[in-house]
């Protein structure tokens, strides 16, 4: 049996002290995901999303971990609470893991709304300009900075094995930072964003070597959603 099987299905012991193991999880499905609507900060899970979270929680009842961390957005909080209820962990809320902020004027509106498309076209024109924005959205530099701080936060914690409930875009940005660090450029993040797609409640397992090869990240499993069938 493979190492991934042992860890994900049988709940093997945490990694040795020289390594940090982190299970990133995209939150469960929401009505916004189902209707292609830009989401509000307090958007909850849909009925389907709550069922996904229950399947996810059952899976993590068989996986040993030390701490449960979640984005402050409600859809991530609700997903984390399902895991907490099943495993007995408390949920630590951390805003570094919230989703990329789009202009607030598009939140709650459909992706195909003409005004939304025009707003995002303008916002996209500022994506790679440091310090330039349409309004209150996050551009590439904002996102890169927050993803870097989020990873530094995890590295600084004492726990060896962590579960982090987060969101699709910030997750892909953290992966890009793991790969390129301070040299990350907008075009590489764009490639990552177009190629990698995380399912709702998909599990991404990474490890950080803080002893033998300090600073080296490894991607072990991407977007594992076997618990959904």
- What is the per-residue pLDDT across 20-71, written as a single tens digit (0 to 9) for each? 999 999 999 999 999 999 999 999 999 999 999 999 999 999 999 999 999 9
Cα–Cα distance for residue pair 54/99, rounded to 1 Å: 22
pLDDT > 70 in the chain, percent: 92
Distances, alpha carbon 123 to alpha carbons 23, 106, 139, in Å: 32, 11, 8
* Three-state secondary-structure class, residue 26: strand
Cα–Cα distance for residue pair 210/201, rounded to 1 Å: 28
Instruction: Give 215's pLDDT tier (boundaries 50, 70, 90).
Output: confident
Query: Phi-psi bin for 201: left (phi > 0), alpha (psi -120 to 50), beta?
Result: left
**Encoding tokens for residue 178?**
């793991």
* Residue from 24, 13, 16 nearest 211 by CA: 16
Instruction: Give 175's pLDDT tier (boundaries 50, 70, 90).
Output: very high
**Encoding tokens for residue 32?**
């916004």
Cα–Cα distance for residue pair 167/27, rounded to 1 Å: 6
């Amino acid at each position: 049996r493979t190492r991934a099987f042992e860890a994900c299905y049988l709940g093997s012991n945490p990694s040795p002290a020289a390594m940090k193991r982190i299970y990133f999880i995209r939150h469960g499905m929401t009505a916004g995901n189902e209707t292609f609507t830009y989401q509000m900060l307090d958007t909850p899970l849909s009925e389907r999303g709550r069922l996904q979270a229950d399947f996810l929680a059952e899976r993590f009842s068989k996986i040993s971990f030390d701490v449960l961390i979640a984005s402050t957005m409600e859809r991530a909080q609700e997903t984390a609470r399902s895991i907490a209820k099943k495993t007995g962990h408390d949920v630590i809320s951390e805003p570094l893991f919230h989703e990329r902020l789009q202009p607030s004027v598009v939140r709650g509106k459909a992706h195909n709304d003409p005004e939304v498309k025009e707003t995002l076209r303008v916002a996209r024109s500022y994506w790679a300009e440091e310090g330039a924005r349409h309004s209150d959205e996050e551009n590439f530099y904002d996102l890169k900075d927050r993803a870097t701080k989020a990873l530094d936060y995890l590295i600084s914690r004492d726990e060896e094995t962590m579960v982090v409930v987060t969101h699709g875009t910030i997750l892909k940005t953290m992966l890009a930072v793991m790969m390129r660090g301070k040299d990350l450029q907008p075009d590489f993040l764009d490639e990552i964003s177009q190629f990698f797609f995380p399912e709702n409640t998909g599990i991404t397992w990474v490890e950080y070597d803080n002893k033998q090869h300090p600073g080296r990240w490894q991607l072990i499993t991407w977007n594992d959603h076997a618990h959904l069938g």
